[in-house]
Amino acid sequence: MTTPQKAKGSQWERDVAKYFNERGYPQVERRYGAGATEDKGDINGLPEFALECKNVGKITLSSIVEEALVEARNAKKPFGVSVIKRRQKSAKEAYVVMTLEQWISMLDRFS
């Protein structure tokens, strides 16, 4: 049986994928089997990015960002990004968090 926390997290992953789809990224989808030993993130379809979606009561940036970095390494992707739900807000109002090093590396690739 699914716990309420697991159901809340799964719904958030679906909401994030749906928002990407609505914004013109039809290839983005929720990755099934998230939480596996070699977790590669919660969202598929963005070639450069491993996305870790979090819907938690208390935001602990250090552990959330570290988890995204591990998942990026597992997925062999250059960028690990955390998409963090804001209380009482929709997916479009989520926080997107990454390290400064990765952000500057991303800027270098796209500039």
User: Domains along the chain?
Assistant: 4-25+41-97 (3.40.1350)
Note the pLDDT of residue 1: 62
Nearest-angstrom CA–CA distance, 69 and 78: 9
Nearest-angstrom CA–CA distance, 55 and 10: 9
Extract the residue ranges of the chain whose pLDDT is less than 50.
Answer: none
Considering only CA atoms, which of 18, 6, 83 is closest in space to residue 50? 83
pLDDT tens-digit map of 68-84:
999 999 999 999 999 99
Note the pLDDT of residue 33: 67
Which residues touch 11 (CB under 8 Å, ≥6 apart)?
Answer: 55
